Amino acid sequence: MIYADNAATTKMSDLAIAKMVEVIDDNYGNPSSLYRFGQRAKEILETAREEVASVIGAEPREILFTSGGSEADNQAIRSAALIGKEKGKTHIISTKFEHHAVLHTLDKLEKEGFEITLLDVHEDGLVRPEEVAAVITDKTALVTIMYANNEIGTIQPIAEIGKICHEKGVLFHTDAVQAITHVPINVVEQNIDMLSASGHKFHGPKGTGFLYARKGIKLSNLIEGGAQERGKRAGTENVPGIAAMAVALKEATEKMEETAKYLTEKRNKLIAGLAEIEHSALNGDAKKRLPSNVNFCFEGIEGESLLLLLDEKGIAASSGSACTSGSLDPSHVLLAIGRVHDVAHGSLRLSLGEDVTDEDIDYMINAVKEVVTYLRSFSPIWRDLVAGKKQFIL
């Protein structure tokens, strides 16, 4: 099987698995206990915190371990909303193509009385910093914009947006779940106040993640209880998971440059191959995107049938919206960049793993070509397009 759905989740690295098993086996103590066996678990936890902090240029006490990216997004946004509210600031700015962990949190806050501005994203899948600046008011509590999009992989001008926020005294959060270990991140240099990350997106375990919050930012709890995580997240820490996540983060970061170079070449080859299919288009800017991400629309077909047939050929891919599977709505990301419904339905995301080979790329290009041709051969929409009853868009 060719696993080309690394934006949905990744395989754990051998080092991360070994670390996890080691901690489960040898260090099952509770980090809050006073005896040495518990203190050893505490040390493992704090070493992981130091490692995670150093990867993004933060201080250990600025790292809060969570159950993943969704929880980190929820806590960051809720905390900033509350901080703002106490100062009479009830306006939040984000974009239309965020992850649902962000969008659904904002929906709830809107019902609770916050004013939400969701910026349009341009056809190239990029947010313009000047458009962020233009909507900031003296009521703005938070700007939250993702670092790299999970469907189309486009990388946003985060440092510039952060600078604007800081000049205007507004908190800036970024969901960096897709970006971390793929692009260099330094929260100080890039003016980031809060950042979310998820272990299972960089070869760590599922159910692990972290929130970076600059010191001085008062986080509010999503989970009440014991005093773990400086009192900001109750519950006995997932020590094996956290230790394994830190190992995976360090490992992937050390290999980042090499991986990016390798994957960029493979990605570009895949893009060039798929672009040969008539009436197709790459979604998102060709260069300002994750080295692992390829996302195409093919006119006249349904993404779901495409995925099922690719599965039969041994390719695990996605339509770019694992979260909308089971619903007939096209991806909100593709609609946000201006794709019309019909076109957005025929989307395919291939997110490459570091072990992808040239043979895999050739195999994927041929398989997609075959399947698209086959599906079009009995698609009523395609027939209408070819007969001129409908206009081609791509």
Ligand X SMILES: *Cc1c(COP(=O)(O)O)cnc(C)c1O
Q: Mind telling me the catalytic residues?
A: 323
- Binder of ligand X out of 5, 51, 62, 175 (CB under 6 A): 175
Q: Choose the stretch contacting ligand X; rule: CB under 6 A; options: 25-33, 64-72, 306-314, 346-354.
A: 64-72
Options 95, 105, 156, 178; binder of ligand X; rule CB under 6 A: 178
The answer to the question of residue 162 lying near ligand X (CB under 6 A) is no
Identified binder of ligand X from the candidate list 75, 140, 150, 295, rule CB under 6 A? 150
Out of 19, 78, 201, 279, the residue judged to bind ligand X by CB under 6 A:
201
Q: Are 259 and 252 in contact (CB under 8 A)?
A: yes
Which of these segments, 12-20, 84-92, 170-178, 232-240, binds ligand X (CB under 6 A)?
A: 170-178
Q: Which of 44, 106, 142, 146 binds ligand X (CB under 6 A)?
A: 146
Among 68, 241, 300, 320, binds ligand X (CB under 6 A): 68
Residue 76 touching ligand X (CB under 6 A): no
CB 54, min distance to ligand X, A: 21
How many residues form the binding site for ligand X (CB under 6 A)?
A: 15
Give the range of 25-33, 65-73, 303-311, 379-387 binding ligand X by CB under 6 A.
Answer: 65-73
**177, 256, 315, 334: which one binds ligand X (CB under 6 A):** 177
Instruction: Considering the complex, state which of residue 145 and residue 348 has its C-beta at the smaller distance from ligand X.
Output: 145
Applying CB under 6 A, among 42, 78, 91, 99 the residue interacting with ligand X is: 99
Q: Which is nearer to ligand X, 152 or 263 (CB)?
A: 152
Nearer to ligand X by Cβ, of 241 and 300: the residue is 241
Instruction: Kindly state the greatest CA–CA separation across the chain.
Output: 78
* Region from 26-34, 42-50, 173-181, 270-278 binding ligand X, contact rule CB under 6 A: 173-181
Beta carbon of residue 99, minimum distance to ligand X (angstroms, whole number) = 4
Output the 3-class SS for the chain.
CEECECCCCCCCCHHHHHHHHHHHHHCCCCCCCCCHHHHHHHHHHHHHHHHHHHHCCCCHHHEEEECCHHHHHHHHHHHHHHHHHHCCCCEEEEECCCCHHHHHHHHHHHHCCCEEEEECCCCCCCCCHHHHHHHCCCCEEEEECCCECCCCCEECCHHHHHHHHHHCCCEEEEECCCCECCECCCCCCCCCCEEEEEHHHCCCCCCCEEEEECCCCCCCCCCCCCCCHHHCCCCCCCHHHHHHHHHHHHHHHHCHHHHHHHHHHHHHHHHHHHCCCCCEEECCCCCCECCCEEEEEECCCCHHHHHHHHHHCCEECECCCHHHCCCCCCCHHHHHCCCCHHHHHCEEEEECCCCCCHHHHHHHHHHHHHHHHHHHHCCHHHHHHHCCCCCCCC
Least Å distance, CB 273 to ligand X, is 25
Whole-number Å distance between alpha carbons of 223 and 218 = 15
Q: How many CB atoms lie within 10 A of CB 380?
A: 8
Between 73 and 237, name the residue whose CB sits nearer to ligand X: 73
209 touches ligand X (CB under 6 A): yes
Which two three-digit tokens encode residue 375?
A: 């599906």
Residue from 2, 77, 101, 106 touching ligand X (CB under 6 A): that is 101
CB of residue 209 vs ligand X: minimum separation in angstroms? 5
Residues within the interface to ligand X (CB under 6 A)? 68-70, 73, 99, 101, 146, 150, 175, 177-178, 198, 200-201, 209
